[in-house]
Structure 1
Amino acid sequence: MVNLEWYRTFKAIYQTGSVTAAAKVLFISQPNVSQHLSALEAHVGKQLFERKPKFLATDYGKLFYTQVVEPLEKLEDVETEFRAICLSKKLPLLRLGSAKEYFHAVSSRYLTDLPAQLKVSFGLTKDLIQKLLKEELDFVIATQHGQEQGIVYEPILTEHFTLVGDAGIDTSTFNEYLQHENWTAAEQWLLQQTWFAYSPDLAIIRRFWLNNFEKRPAIKPAFIIPDMNTILQAISNGKGISIAANYLTEALISEQKIKTIWTGRRETSNTLYLAYDQSKVSQEQIKIMNDLLKTSQQL
């Protein structure tokens, strides 16, 4: 998985034009800046800058910047709000773990009204639950129900998954297959498209496929990006398809930047939970967190 700091370092170099200036902006050493850039280039498999007296973005680097800068700046805005909340020492502290896409899309806009300090960690549910068990977190917004002893899982939201694509994609042939319930031809049409995936195990795509075609997907994604917001922005700016939760796609669909291709023969959904150890948190903390989540869902 890509380290978020690699993206921040890439953005700083792009905007300042040098490793030295980027290091000053990020308050880290120049060797760390160089290490972050090298790691990111190795991960994407492309050179992002030409090493001249001034770092100049390659064509791929320019394209990459347009895809990541907006979601990255939104995440930085969220962090700024966290710091503002933490200035108040009279408020209780809540340590929350969450998938960044859910938190950004649903909860982040209500932070200034939260009667608490909030420290948020982003990551996968399995990793966040381990932090919860180690008492490094108070609450986790979990994408699946675990069986850990002493951990309460309260259902908070059902997310519905939809197949979406770029606004210009021609789906007339696919729609005809659906109309005649020619599922084999419909599957083949989908397999021929340019796919974006959230993870190499195709977890979301696999669930949708099993639910609608009763088999595992034979998909080789062109792009694997562990950030669904970045995937949707990339699709809206180019071509391709993916499967995403409805609360992530609604705004882009309403703006006609992407479009719904198929909701499936059967609805594909997943329940999100608020997980916590009831022996480690107070009723006040539970109420504050539940109030935030209930308010967040009034979209």
Structure 2
Amino acid sequence: MPSLDLLLTFVEVYRAGSLSAASQRLGFTQPAVSGQLARLEEQIGEPLFVRTSRGVTPTPGATALASRVSGHVDGLRKALGSSEEPLLGGTVRIGAAAEFMTLCATPVLADLTRHGVQVHAVLGLADDLLAALAADRLDLVVSSIRPTHDALHAEAFVDEQFLLVAPPDMARTVDPERLRNEPVAALAHLPLVAYAEELPIIRRYWRSEFGRRPPNPLAFVVSDLRAVLEAVTRGAGVSVLPRYIALPALQSGKVLQLHEPEAAPLNTLYLAVRRSAPANSAVTVLREALRQAARRWDML
């Protein structure tokens, strides 16, 4: 049976995605980590990782082993009083939309600072943030669009679910039967509260669900989805919002879901990094923390 030390090294390499990042987290030299991994592969009788220019890629055998032992290794570390991560140090520069950064990412980032990491968070639109990432002004971006730049690598992260919401008084002006049969006409009298004049989110919802652009009058434009929600609760109009932003107002009855499609429109968020970025243990830890948080969120 492999020793706990070898399994601990394996789990760190599996989570970090590179030998150098794992060595920093463990406090070992990279040759020491490589040697331990070689001993484990010899004992198991099969390779566990494919070495690439950007790190290591786990084999199917490594994925199966990680699923069997990761929880036990973490439990043993906790029992032995070593559950705290070592101090990482350094700086992480992360970019995301203001709403996601405030409501979702900040708790994860605040936890990272306890390990000695300085966090620089930048708020903005996806295109601008991805350009900053490609120019080495950011280390990690949570993007609402899939990057197409050759220098960037992205992985699907979590899905946003979009809901059409209205203040209760406006919702009551919509005839349910007409909404089922003629949804565009049934909703046409309702003013819109939008993130931008081009109605990017609302337009996508109308086209996905109703097959055309909304003919509704535009009442209020504000470039923050939290402010959009506030305007809706104050009776300015209706809007389409990610579920994680609208949920508190829905639960309190301040807004109502005006339309319930069979499958709510989704938008995938991506975690993007530079392909050529040097190993940074803090960035690696942050990516894993965001992945774990996304599993708890399931869908935003």
Q: Aligning the two structures, in what range does the TM-score lie when normalised by the shorter sequence? A: 0.5 to 0.7
Q: Could you tell me which amino acid in structure 2 is paired with residue 182 of structure 1?
A: N
Gaps of 5+ in 2: 1-86
- Mapped to 2, the partners of 1:234 and 1:279 lie a distance apart of 43
2:269 is aligned with 1:272:
yes
- 1:280-295 matches, within 5 Å, as 280-282=277-279, 284-295=281-292
Report deviation, 1:265. Answer: 5.1
2:146 is aligned with 1:149:
no
TM-score when normalising by structure 1: 0.64
Report deviation, 1:90. Answer: 6.5
Cα 1:221–1:125 shift into 2, 3 Å: same
Instruction: Note if contact 2:191-2:216 (Cα within 8 Å) is conserved in structure 1.
Output: no
- Mapped to 1, the partners of 2:136 and 2:188 lie a distance apart of 44
Instruction: Note if contact 2:192-2:239 (Cα within 8 Å) is conserved in structure 1.
Output: yes
Q: Quick one: which of 251, 263, 279 aligns to 1:254?
A: 251
The match for 1:95 is 93
- Mapped to 1, the partners of 2:267 and 2:210 lie a distance apart of 18
Q: Could you tell me which amino acid in structure 1 is paired with residue 199 of structure 2?
A: L
The match for 1:64 is none
Q: Could you tell me which amino acid in structure 2 is paired with residue 252 of structure 1?
A: A
Q: Deviations over 1:25-59 (max 9, x none)?
A: xxxxxxxxxxxxxxxxxxxxxxxxxxxxxxxxxxx
- 1:132-143 matches, within 5 Å, as 132-143=133-144
Q: Could you tell me which amino acid in structure 1 is paired with residue 160 of structure 2?
A: E
Report deviation, 1:221. Answer: 1.3
Report deviation, 1:151. Answer: 0.7
* Larger Rg, first or second structure (1 or 2): 2
2:194 is aligned with 1:171:
no
Q: Deviations over 1:232-264 (max 9, x none)?
A: 112223342100011111111112221211133
Report deviation, 1:133. Answer: 1.3
The match for 1:159 is 160
- Mapped to 1, the partners of 2:158 and 2:208 lie a distance apart of 20
Q: Deviations over 1:92-120 (max 9, x none)?
A: 21101110011112111333311322101
Q: Could you tell me which amino acid in structure 2 is paired with residue 96 of structure 1?
A: I
Where has structure 1 moved over 4 Å in runs of 4 or more?
Answer: none
The match for 1:230 is 227
- 1:24-173 matches, within 5 Å, as 91-114=89-112, 115=115, 116-171=117-172, 173=174
- Mapped to 1, the partners of 2:216 and 2:90 lie a distance apart of 47
Instruction: Note if contact 1:212-1:265 (Cα within 8 Å) is conserved in structure 2.
Output: no
Report deviation, 1:188. Answer: 1.8
> How many residues are aligned here?
207
Cα 1:296–1:251 shift into 2, 3 Å: farther
